[in-house]
Amino acid sequence: MRARPRRHALALLTALLALSGVAGCTKAASPPPPAATATATTPAGRAAAIAAGLSDEELVGQVLMPAVTVSDDVSGAVRQIQDLGLGGVVLMGNVENTDAGASADQVRTVTDALRAAAPTLAGTQPGLLIATDQEYGWVTRIRDGMVQLPSAMAFGAANRPDLTRDAWSGAGQELAAAGVNVDLAPDADVTASPQNAVIGSRSFGGDPEVVSPQVAAAVTGLQSAGVAATLKHFPGHGNTTVDSHQALPVLSQSRADLEATDLAPFRAGIAAGAQLVMSGHLDVSAIDPGTPASFSAKVIDLLRNELGFDGVVVTDALDMAPAEQWAPDEAAVRAFLAGNDLLLMSPDVAAARTGLLVALHSGRITHDRLVESVTRILTLKLTLAAEPRPSTVDTAAQETAASAVAAAAVTVLSGQCSGALVAGPVRVTTSAGRAQQAAWLTEALTAQGVRVVTSGGSEVHLVGYGDESGDLAHGAAVTVAMDTPYLLAAADSPTRLATYSSTQAAMRALAAVLAGKATAPGHSPVPVSGLPGCPSTR
């Protein structure tokens, strides 16, 4: 998902169509909300009691989650929460491979102000869902003042679910301390192609037997800290080459292939207790051809009734191209009728609210269906509200957990498998925009006793997210991939390594391997043409 500033006016024609029921969707069959068997003292029971007493406007407000840009002035967002009675917001920041982004202190100030604006419902203050995309790797909203985990693919290369659980528990503690209670992570996608740039290192790998335990461990870690995990992008964005921000990808797999590969990590995450699942803007030809999964009752029925998920289903961002084939009001109605509970990032949240109310009053959306979703949302809120909120970030324990994963991920794909991988003085070079990583590696090599020079010496060349073959250094002694390892197939270096991440911890781990002070225990979680790598030590 990515925020874009485009907005739409509410069209009279669309409202008329909504009133007449034209182009409606069939409601997905789904299990009853948790409150169906809950007592009044449980979060689910309390949620059901609250939802039963809400007005139409209050109910509709709870299913909307617009984007808020973290800034010093959040007065506009506060007014929007109050005026529309919103159930949650998603904090946006950078999604590019830069060191920019919101700081932990800034986020804490913003979330405190947003939380104070949360509407009172039936005399109760259930709180606000405050979400963000903290996947780590190149999709990381909060960078400054927080420990940076490596990318998901680094976790897959390490293949240590115990380390994954510990690292994501630390990440959850930091998010909770900053006031975030929903992480739109982890990616449960099984990546299947080097051309899938939109997922890439956001995936734990290409083998569901590796990806599934990693997804489960990340969910367990996050939720142990009181932050709800979100599995995405259902039913799997890994076997695509089209960016769903720009167009609708088609999943051509058979139903059996979906079951064997794409659905396995979602099953594992659900079994681990994931509290949300994000429906993807994906054309699943084996289930509902031509309809984005996020708007497909058949796909969400699969999630509810075959995978048994009874938590909150949230759409991918409604400001993405596959959703914008409809005006914001109609898109909101269609997405809700398909079976989603939370509608994420409408390009016009006021129009989406009006569309839902028109559909409710016309009977296109039933009152019971709306109460069902709001009960799920309120159950989640009340469950999260019962968790203690940590107060510290960037602790030594969190740094240690992140460093352990970074060290376990380093992979040799060509060259000797042990001992020092560089001899004599070393010159560090990078593709454009990697000066920080070059400085970190230089510092770490020096600390390992390796002499680093600015001319001559053995060249160690770093490449990362978005780089292509033209960014490689011909004749470099060592080439290191700091994102997906696919580009290493085009390098001519005798020694080729992958860290899958460009964090400072990854550069320290790399330096130790280059100097022969540590082994490279990682194993590439995706195949790289012509580079089988060293035998796994695990």
DSSP-derived secondary structure for 205-260: -S-HHHHHHHHHHHHHHHHHTT-EEEEEEET-STT--S-TTTS--EE---HHHIII
**What share of the chain has pLDDT > 90, as a percent?**
79
pLDDT in tens, 341-381: 999 999 999 999 999 999 999 999 999 999 999 999 999 99
Q: How far is CA 223 from CA 309, 417, 433, in A?
A: 16, 37, 35
What is the pLDDT at residue 11?
A: 35
Contact between residue 204 and residue 251 where contact means Cβ atoms under 8 Å apart: no
Domain ranges of the chain: 12-81+92-248+259-307+329-341+362-385, 410-514
CA atoms within 13 A of residue 508's CA, in its CB half-sphere: 13
Cβ–Cβ under 8 Å, residues 87 and 65: yes
From 246, 238, 260, 188, select the one nearest 218 (Cα to Cα): 188
| pLDDT at 70 (0 to 100) | 86
Separation of alpha carbons 225 and 245, rounded Å: 31
Here the tokens at position 395 are 């602790």
Say if strands 312-315 and 411-414 run parallel, antiparallel, or are unpaired: unpaired
| SS3 assignment, position 423 | coil
Longest dimension (CA), the chain: 77
The pLDDT value recorded for residue 39 is 65
- The residues annotated with a catalytic role in the active site are 316
Flag whether pLDDT at 497 surpasses 70. Answer: yes
The Cβ of residue 19 has, within 10 Å, a number of other Cβ atoms equal to 14
Do residues 240 and 275 lie in contact, with contact meaning Cβ atoms separated by under 8 Å?
A: no
Question: 420 and 441 in contact (C-beta within 8 Å)?
Answer: no
d(CA 479, CA 488): 7
- Topology of domain 12-81+92-248+259-307+329-341+362-385 in CATH is TIM Barrel (3.20.20)
Q: DSSP characters for 431-487? A: STT-HHHHHHHHHHHHHTT--B-SSSSEEEEEE-TT--GGGS-TT-SEEEESS-SGG
With a CB cutoff of 8 Å and minimum separation 6, the contacts of 216 are: 161, 268, 269, 271, 272
Q: pLDDT tens across 382-393, in order?
A: 999 987 777 777
Tally the residues of the chain.
538
Predicted local distance difference test score (pLDDT) of residue 93: 65
Which phi and psi (to 5°) does residue 219 adopt?
A: -60, -50
Tell me, what amino acid is at 436?
Q
Region 221-228: mean pLDDT is: 96
Q: Are the C-beta atoms of 403 and 150 separated by less than 8 Å?
A: no
Average pLDDT score over the chain: 90
Over residues 30-47, the pLDDT tens digits come to 555 554 455 678 999 999
CA angle 67, 399, 198 (to 5 degrees): 40
Q: What is the pLDDT of residue 192?
A: 85
Model pLDDT, residue 386: 83
460-477: per-residue pLDDT in tens? 999 999 999 999 999 999
Closest CA to 196 of 134, 262, 255: 262
Q: What is the dihedral of CA 206, 210, 214, 217, to 10 degrees?
A: 160
CA gap 296, 284 in Å, rounded:
9
Hey, what amino acid is at 350? A
Residue type, 456: G
The closest alpha carbon to 163, from 404, 393, 398, belongs to 404
Tens of pLDDT along 419-460? 999 988 999 999 999 999 999 999 999 999 999 999 999 999
pLDDT-based confidence at residue 100 (cuts at 50, 70, 90): low
Question: Parallel, antiparallel, or unpaired: how do β-strands 228-234 and 182-183 relate?
Answer: parallel
Q: Is pLDDT larger for residue 142 or for residue 374?
A: 374
Pairing between β-strand 134-136 and β-strand 228-234 as defined by DSSP bridges: unpaired
- Reply yes or no on whether the pLDDT at 13 is more than 60: no
- Cβ(372)–Cβ(336) under 8 Å? no
pLDDT of residue 265 exceeding 90, the answer is yes
Q: Are 328 and 355 in contact (CB under 8 A)?
A: yes
Which one-letter amino acid corresponds to residue 207? D
d(CA 529, CA 342): 41
Structure tokens at 251: 């999943």
Kindly state the tokens that stand for 187: 């990616």
Q: What is the mean pLDDT of residues 284-296?
A: 96
Please state the rounded mean pLDDT for residues 138-163.
94
Query: What would the pLDDT profile of 498-531 be if each residue is shown by its tens digit?
Result: 999 999 999 999 999 999 999 999 999 999 999 9
Residue 23, pLDDT above cutoff 70: no
